[in-house]
Structure 1
Amino acid sequence: MLNINAIFSNILKIDPIQRQSIISLFWQVSFTAIGFLSTMYFARAVGASILGSYFLFLAYYSIFGMFTDGGFGGAAVKRISEGEEPDAYFSAYFILRLVFTITGVLVLILFKDYFVDLINSGIFVWLLMLLLVTAIAGPISSGIAGTGKMGVRNTCEGINNISRVIIQIPAIYLGYETAGLAGGMLAGVIIAAIIEFRFFDLHLVSFKWEHIKSLSVFSFWLFLTSSGVLVFSQADTVLIGYFMDIENVGIYRVVLQFTGVATFSSSAIRMTLWPRVSQWSKTNEIPLIEESLSRAISYSLILAVPVLVGGILLGDRLLYSFYGEDFAQGYQVLIILLGVQVINVFQYFFTMYLDALDHPQESFKVTAVGVGANIALNIILIPLMGINGAAIATLATMSLNALLAWSALSRHMTVRLERQSLSNIMISSAIMGVIVGGYRLFVPLSNVWVTILVVAIGGVVYGFLILKSDKKVYTEMKDIVEKVGIGFVWPGWL
C-alpha cells in the first residue's frame, strides 16, 4: 500500500531543480498522452480542415497575445525573481498588461472585417474573450514563476492543458467543431488561473515610474526576441494557410504536435531553469550556470535523439495508424521536424540563457537574423515544395539561430557539452535503431498494436543501454527513485 503523504514528503526533499523538473515532466507526459489521444479523435471525427481552422486560431492568438503582453511578462519574471520589490514589479506589469490588452481588443473590433476566416468560423468572439481572460491569468502565472514556484506553475499548466482537452472532446462530439475547440481552450485557461491564484502571494501595491522603466528596458529586447520566436512557431502555419488550402495546415500542425514527444525533457527543464539561472546571474555564480547548461542539453537530447531515430523508422506507420490515411502523407515533414526538435534543444537553451543572464539585446540580434531568413525561405519554399518546404525552412533557420546564439553566449560564459554523455546517447540510439529496424524488416506492421509493441521494445532497449552506459544518469535516476520512496526497488542488475 502506497503511503501518499510519505511520498510527497520525500519528493519535497529532492533538489529543487530536480523536483520541479520531475513535476513539469510528469505534466508534460500526462498532457501529451491525452493530447495525442484527443487529436487522434479530432482527426478522425472532423478531419484536417477543421483542425486547420483551429490551428490558425491558435496562430492568431499567439500573435495578438504577444502584442498584448509586450514582453513585459518575461521582464516581470526576471525582476520578481531578483527579489527586490517584487510586489511593485508585479503591480506595474499587471496594469501594463491590462492596458495593452484592452487597447488590442479595441483595435481588433475596429478592424474585424479583415479577419473574415475567424468571423465565418464563429471564433472571432472566442479570440477576444481569450485575450481578456489572459490579461488576468498571464500576470498571475508570471508572478508564480517569478517567486520560484515552478512546481505550482508547471502543475497548473498541465491542468490547463488537460482541462482543455476534456472539454473539447464532448464539444466536438456535440458538433461545435472549431468553436468547441476554441471554447475548450478558454475554459482550460480559466480553470488553471483559479487554481494558481490559491498559491499566489504577491499583492497589488503602488509603484513608481522607475519600476515601469526597469521593466521596459528588459521587455523591449525580450519583446523583440519573442517576436522572432513567434515567427519560428507560427509563420509557417500562417503562410501555409496563405499559399495552400486549410487542410494542409491541419496536416502540418498535427505532425508538428506529434514531434512534441521529443521535447518532453527539454520543456520540463527549461521552464524550471529560467528563474534559477536568473538568480545565479544576479549573484554571479557562473560555474553553476555553466554546469546547469551542459546538463540541461544532455538530458534534453536523451529523449530527442532516439525519438528522431524512431520517427525515421516508424513514422509513416504511426501517422497512418493514429490519425488516418490523409495524415500519413506528412511522413517526410515528420522526419524534418524531428530534426528541428533536436536543433531546438541547443537554440532554445542558448537564447534562454542569454535572456536570463540579462543580455536580451544579444538574444534579439540572433533571433532577428533567423526571422528574416525564416520568412524569406517560407515564401520561396512553400509554393515550390508545399508543407515539406515549410519544414525545411524551419530546420535551416533554426540551425542558423543555434549557431549564432552559441557564438553570442560564448562571450559571457564557457559553453561546454558533455561529450561522453552525448556519445552514450548516440551509440544507444544507434543500437536501438538497428533492433527496431530489424523488427520492422521481418515483422509486418499490420495494425496499431503491433506498431506500439515495437515502439515499446525500442524504448526499453534504449533506456537499458543509457542506464548501463551513462553513470551520471544512472546515479541521478537511482537517487531520485530512492528519495521518492514509492516502494520500487532499484534493480541490482542495472
Structure 2
Amino acid sequence: MADLDRSSLALYGSRVGVSVIGFASTVYFARAIGAEGLGIYFTVETVVVVLAVLARFGVDSAVVKRLSGAADDAERARHLTGAFGLVLVPLAVVSLAVLLFADPLADLADLPLAPLALVGMVVALLVVETGQWLLLSALRGERRLATSAGVEFGGEVLRVGTSVWFVLGGSGPVGLVYGLLIGHAARALVAGVLLDTGLARPTRETMTSLVSFSKYTAGMNVSHLTYSWLDTLVLAVVVSKTAVGTYEAAWRVSLVVALASSAVGAALAPNVSAWAASDAFERIEEAFTNSLSFALLLVVPAVVGAAVLGGPFMAVAYGFGGGALLAVLVAGQVAQAVKDVVQSTLLGLDRPRTVFVTNAVGLGTNLVLTVGLALAYGPLGAAVGTALTAAVVAVVQWRALQSWLAARVDRRALAWQVGGALVMGGVVVGATRVVTPDSPVPLLALVALGALTYGGVVSLHAPTRTRLVGLVQPNATGQAEGS
C-alpha cells in the first residue's frame, strides 16, 4: 500500500497545486472582470469540455486500462496509435457541428468574437483538449502518476500566467479563453515528449479491444459530464452569466476537497488492473478499504468547515455571496469521493459495462433532478440536484461492486474522521465569537485553527497516523511511481 499511497500523494499534491493556482486566479479574475465576465468564460469552457468528452468517446479511459495491462512495449504502442485513430471521426463530426451551429453557439457564449472566429477558437480547443487527455492517460497507463501530475501542474501554471497577461492587456473573458488554449496545448506537447510508449500500426484485435472498453466508458464520461457541467449549461441558458460565475466559483472550491479521492482513484485503477491479472483479489480488497478511508480523510471535515465558514469565505474571496451554495456542493463531494474509489476499482476489474449501466442511472437522475431543481430554484437548486445525483450513483455502484469483492468501509477510521470534524466545527464556532471572519487574515486564522484541531484528533487514530507517516518515509525501492 505504501507505493499506492505515494502515487496517490504525487497526483494529489499536483492537483492541490493546480487548485490553489486556479483558486487564486479565479479570485483575481472575479475582481478584474466581475461575476458576469467570469460567467462568460465558464460558459465557453463548459461548451468545450462537453464537446471534447463527446469527441473522445471514452477512449482516454480505455487507454489507461489497455496500456496498464499490456504485455510489452509493442502492444502498448498499438493501443496508443489505435486510440488516436478512434477519436479522429468523432472529433471531425463534433467540429463540423460547431461550424453548422456557429450562430447559436455565439449567442450562448456571448464572447465579443465573430461567429467564425469563435468556431476556430472552439475547434482548436477541442483538438488540444482531446490530445492532452489521451496523452496524459497514456502516461497513467504506463503507471507514471507523478509524471502526469507534473504535466498537469505545469500546464495550469502556464494557463493562469498567460490568462493574467491577457486580462492585464484588456482582453477580458477572451483573454481567459486564450490562456486555456495555450495551457492545454502545452500539456499535450510536454506529455507527448515525455511518453515512453511509441506508435505502431494497430491490429484488428487492438481496435476491438479499445472499442469494447470505450463503448462503456463513453457512457460513464457522459454521466460525469452531466454531473459536472449540466448545471452550468442550464444556468447559462435560463438564468444569467452572473449566476454561472457565482455557481462555478463555489463549485471549483468544492472540487478542492475531492482532490484526494480523485487522486486515489486515478492511482488505484491501474494497480487493481495489474492485481486482477494475477488473481490477487485479497490485495484488491485491502487496497479498496484503505483507499476509501484515505479518500474521505479531507472531505469529511470540509463539509463541517463549509457549513461554518462557507458564507464568510465566499464574501472575502470573491466579493459576492454563495455560502449555502458552497455548503451543499461540498456535502455532495462525500458521495463523489466514494464514487471515485468504487468506480476506479470496477474499471480496474475490467467491468466497464457495470460502470456504464450505473452511470446511465446517474444520467437519468441528473437530468430530472438538476434540470428540474435549477429551473425552480436557480443555483441552489442545481447544487442540490448535483449532490443527490452523486449519492444515487455511489449507492448503485457500491452494490454492484459487492458482486465481485468483499467491499467494506473501515468504520473505526470513519468514526475518527467524523468525530474529528465535529470537534473541529465546535472549536471554530467558539472561536468566531472572538474573531470575526470578515477579512483574509482572521478567516485564514480560523481555517488554520480548524485544520490543526482536526489533524490533532485524527492523528490519535494509530492506523491513520501510521499511513500518514508512511507517506513521507523514503521508498525502499527509490521509486515513487507505480507499485
User: Is TM more than 0.5 here?
Assistant: yes
What is the rounded CA distance, in whole Å, between the counterparts of 2:437 and 2:202 in structure 1?
63
Deviation readout 1:84-121 (Å, 9 max, x if unpaired): 31111111111222333233223322332331233744
Match of 2:82 among 74, 77, 92: 92
What is the rounded CA distance, in whole Å, between the counterparts of 2:132 and 2:252 in structure 1?
24
Instruction: Tell me the equivalent position of 1:68.
Output: 55
Instruction: Tell me the equivalent position of 2:324.
Output: 332
Deviation readout 1:30-75 (Å, 9 max, x if unpaired): 1222122111111111111111111111211121111211111111
Instruction: Tell me the equivalent position of 1:368.
Output: 360
26 and 378 in structure 1: CA distance in 2 versus 1, 3 angstrom threshold: closer
8 Å CA contact 2:167–2:175 kept in 1: the answer is yes
1:198 match: secondary structure: helix
Instruction: Tell me the equivalent position of 1:444.
Output: 436
Match of 1:191 among 186, 191, 199: 186
Q: Deviation of residue 15 (structure 1)?
A: 4.1
8 Å CA contact 1:236–1:390 kept in 2: the answer is yes
Instruction: Tell me the equivalent position of 2:91.
Output: 101
Match of 1:419 among 394, 399, 411: 411
Q: Deviation of residue 390 (structure 1)?
A: 0.4
Match of 2:31 among 23, 44, 48: 44
The within-5 A match list for 1:202-351 is: 202-324=197-319, 327-328=320-321, 330-351=322-343
Q: Deviation of residue 358 (structure 1)?
A: 1.2
Q: Deviation of residue 146 (structure 1)?
A: 1.1
Match of 2:66 among 68, 72, 79: 79
Is 1:407 the counterpart of 2:394? The answer is no
What is the rounded CA distance, in whole Å, between the counterparts of 1:97 and 1:33 in structure 2?
32
2:258 match: secondary structure: helix
Structure 2 letter corresponding to 1:90: L
Structure 2 letter corresponding to 1:278: S
What is the rounded CA distance, in whole Å, between the counterparts of 1:139 and 1:371 in structure 2?
24
349 and 114 in structure 1: CA distance in 2 versus 1, 3 angstrom threshold: same
Structure 2 letter corresponding to 1:199: L
1:442 match: secondary structure: coil
Percent identity (aligned)? 28
Match of 2:146 among 147, 151, 158: 151
Q: Deviation of residue 463 (structure 1)?
A: 0.9
Match of 2:16 among 16, 19, 29: 29
Instruction: Tell me the equivalent position of 2:479.
Output: none
What is the rounded CA distance, in whole Å, between the counterparts of 2:27 and 2:393 in structure 1?
33
What is the rounded CA distance, in whole Å, between the counterparts of 2:59 and 2:437 in structure 1?
50
What is the rounded CA distance, in whole Å, between the counterparts of 1:91 and 1:445 in structure 2?
54
What is the rounded CA distance, in whole Å, between the counterparts of 1:437 and 1:421 in structure 2?
24
Instruction: Tell me the equivalent position of 2:45.
Output: 58
8 Å CA contact 1:347–1:405 kept in 2: the answer is yes
Report the count of equivalent residues.
Answer: 468
Q: Deviation of residue 251 (structure 1)?
A: 0.4
Structure 1 letter corresponding to 2:440: V
Structure 2 letter corresponding to 1:334: L
What is the rounded CA distance, in whole Å, between the counterparts of 1:199 and 1:15 in structure 2?
25
Instruction: Tell me the equivalent position of 2:351.
Output: 359
8 Å CA contact 2:296–2:337 kept in 1: the answer is yes
TM-score by length of 1: 0.91
162 and 484 in structure 1: CA distance in 2 versus 1, 3 angstrom threshold: farther
Q: Deviation of residue 322 (structure 1)?
A: 0.7
What is the rounded CA distance, in whole Å, between the counterparts of 1:51 and 1:446 in structure 2?
23
TM-score by length of 2: 0.93
What is the rounded CA distance, in whole Å, between the counterparts of 1:423 and 1:135 in structure 2?
41
What is the rounded CA distance, in whole Å, between the counterparts of 2:111 and 2:457 in structure 1?
53
What is the rounded CA distance, in whole Å, between the counterparts of 2:3 and 2:121 in structure 1?
38
481 and 225 in structure 1: CA distance in 2 versus 1, 3 angstrom threshold: closer
Deviation readout 1:164-222 (Å, 9 max, x if unpaired): 11111121121212221111111111222232233212122112222111111111111
2:225 match: secondary structure: helix
What is the rounded CA distance, in whole Å, between the counterparts of 2:421 and 2:130 in structure 1?
44
Match of 1:140 among 135, 138, 148: 135
Task: Give 5+ residue unaligned stretches, structure 2.
Answer: 477-483
Deviation readout 1:99-148 (Å, 9 max, x if unpaired): 33233223322332331233744344321111122343333222211111
What is the rounded CA distance, in whole Å, between the counterparts of 2:160 and 2:351 in structure 1?
37
What is the rounded CA distance, in whole Å, between the counterparts of 1:353 and 1:363 in structure 2?
10
* Alignment RMSD (CA, Å): 1.8
318 and 291 in structure 1: CA distance in 2 versus 1, 3 angstrom threshold: same
What is the rounded CA distance, in whole Å, between the counterparts of 2:18 and 2:77 in structure 1?
32
8 Å CA contact 2:295–2:338 kept in 1: the answer is no
